[in-house]
Amino acid sequence: MNLPNTATPSSASGSLSAEEIAAYVIETSMSGVESIESDTALFSSGIIDSMGVIQLVEFIETHTGKKVKPTEITLENFDSVDNIMNFLAS
């Protein structure tokens, strides 16, 4: 699935779609990436760096109302859009 570069969160305290998360990553990435797949490795491939992960967590918290614990910020939870969606569903 090729995810487009369009981020307009669906709500301030609800859920985010995979497309919204991907668009946010694309828009804020310093790597110049123009599209990502839902299983693209974000951190381990260099699309986002450690500061980008923190910004992504803040984006998720702001738009979902879910508080992310520091111990939850792992590659298992945040290294791809699929991983993020699975984390948010848990």
CATH number assigned to the domain comprising residue 80: 1.10.1200.10
Domain housing 81: 2-89
CA distance 81 to 19: 9
Determine the pLDDT at residue 65.
93
Determine the pLDDT at residue 9.
43
What is the chain's pLDDT, residue by residue, as a tens digit (90 residues)? 444 444 444 444 478 999 999 999 999 998 889 999 999 999 989 999 999 999 999 999 999 999 999 999 999 999 999 999 999 998
Determine the pLDDT at residue 1.
47
For 53, half-sphere exposure in the C-beta direction (CA atoms, 13 angstrom radius) is 20
CA-to-CA separations, 47 to 23, 33, 90, in angstroms, rounded: 12, 7, 25
Q: How many domains does the chain have?
A: 1
pTM to 2 decimal places: 0.81
